C-alpha cells in the first residue's frame, strides 16, 4: 500500500507540470486576433501617448514585421451642458491587429522597445486590456 501511494504521488508530481506546459490550441478567428487597450492618459500627455503608439508600430516595422497594425482610436466625450463633442484628453483606445505575440513570433525587446514602453508609462496607464477576434467585416 505504501509503495502504491509513493508511486501515485511521484506520478502526480511529474504529470501535473507536463499538463500545464501544453499550449492550448488557438481559437478559430475568421478575422484578426486583436489586442484592445483602454488607457487613461495623464494630464497633458496625449501628444506623448500618440508618439508612443507611432514608435511602437515603427519598432515592429524596423524588425521586418508587417503583418500587424496598431491603431489609436480617440475617445469622444460629450459635454452634457452644451451637448457638444470633443476628443478626450484623458482616455484613449488602441487596437493592435495581429500582434506577433499571438503567434509567438515577437522579436526580443531591445533599447528601442524599452524606449516606447517608457513613453507609454510616462504618458498613460492601462485601464483595461482585452484580446478579441476582430471579424473581417469590421476591418
Q: Say what the pLDDT of residue 9 is.
A: 41
Query: Is the pLDDT at 74 greater than 70, yes or no?
Result: yes
Phi first, then psi, for residue 107 (nearest 5°) are -65, 160
Number of domains in the chain: 1
Domain housing 133: 27-138
For residue 99, the domain's CATH number is 3.30.70.100
**Residue 6 within any structural domain of the chain:** no
Q: Give how far Cα 38 sits from Cα of 7, 60, 73, 78, 96, Å.
A: 50, 21, 10, 18, 12
Q: In whole numbers, what is the pLDDT of the chain averaged over residues?
A: 86
What tens digit of pLDDT does each residue of 91-134 get? 999 999 999 876 667 888 999 999 999 999 999 999 999 999 99
Residue 60 contacts residue 48 (beta carbons within 8 Å): no
Could you please report the per-residue DSSP string of 102-132? GGT-PPPP-HHHHHHHHHHHHHEEEEEEEEE
Query: Is the pLDDT at 5 greater than 80, yes or no?
Result: no
**Residue 67 within any structural domain of the chain:** yes
Query: Is the pLDDT at 56 greater than 80, yes or no?
Result: yes
Residue 39 contacts residue 92 (beta carbons within 8 Å): yes
Q: Say what the pLDDT of residue 75 is.
A: 97
**Residue 116 within any structural domain of the chain:** yes
In 3D space, the residue among 119, 63, 69 whose CA is nearest the CA of residue 98 turns out to be 69
**Residue 71 within any structural domain of the chain:** yes
Q: Say what the pLDDT of residue 133 is.
A: 95
Q: Say what the pLDDT of residue 129 is.
A: 98
Query: Is the pLDDT at 19 greater than 70, yes or no?
Result: no
Q: Say what the pLDDT of residue 23 is.
A: 59
Amino acid at each position: 500500500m505504501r509503495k502504491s501511494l509513493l508511486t501515485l504521488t511521484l506520478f502526480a508530481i511529474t504529470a501535473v507540470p507536463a499538463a500545464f506546459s501544453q499550449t492550448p490550441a488557438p481559437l478559430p478567428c475568421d478575422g484578426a486576433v486583436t489586442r484592445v487597450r483602454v488607457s487613461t492618459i495623464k494630464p497633458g500627455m496625449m501628444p506623448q501617448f500618440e508618439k508612443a503608439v507611432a514608435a511602437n508600430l515603427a519598432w515592429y516595422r524596423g524588425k521586418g514585421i508587417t503583418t500587424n497594425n496598431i491603431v489609436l482610436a480617440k475617445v469622444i466625450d460629450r459635454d452634457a451642458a452644451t451637448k457638444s463633442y470633443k476628443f478626450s484628453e484623458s482616455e484613449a483606445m488602441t487596437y493592435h491587429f495581429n500582434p506577433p505575440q499571438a503567434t509567438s513570433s515577437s522579436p526580443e525587446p531591445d533599447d528601442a522597445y524599452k524606449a516606447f514602453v517608457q513613453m507609454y508609462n510616462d504618458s498613460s496607464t492601462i485601464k483595461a486590456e482585452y484580446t478579441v477576434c476582430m471579424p473581417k467585416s469590421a476591418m
